[in-house]
Structure 1
Amino acid sequence: MAHKSLTDFILDSACLAAEQTLLDQRLFMATGTQYQALMDLLEPPEQSNEGLRDLFSRKAPWEAK
């Protein structure tokens, strides 16, 4: 029916399923209220975080010593 070989049909189907799975992980549906709540969480001024400051002051394990 699709005028494809079985291999092509299976590969196309697998690629489509993989694409849908990835798209499902990147698309978030939210109401206006939910969106505003997220924006309110993201917009306040940053706060000092000693743990992050310490982490970013260290060399990465893959950097030359």
Structure 2
Amino acid sequence: MPHQAQRKPHPLSMRLPDADLAIIDRAARLRGHSRTDFVRDAAVRAAEEVLLETTLIRMSPAGFDAFMAAVSGPAAPVPGMVELFRRAAPWETSNPADAS
């Protein structure tokens, strides 16, 4: 029985201005990634976003009716969000220990 060969990664080559490379390299270092890993992750993430934005969602008529009822109903406050918006922002509070 023949062995199936392992698929090897395909190279991808780009020509970028020095300024773009500097930004990519700086961001990659901040994340602790190589330039290749950083660019691959960013490209795959961007591709996934495009695919998710253009993917057709199918549902049954009953499912669609339930969805429409849920989004068309009256809004209800989410307790955690209400509490979050009542808190002062970190820059609106002062900490005496930070003043020294």
The two structures have a TM-score, normalised by structure 1, of 0.46
Compare CA radii of gyration and give the structure with the larger one. Answer: 2
- TM-score, normalised relative to structure 2: 0.36
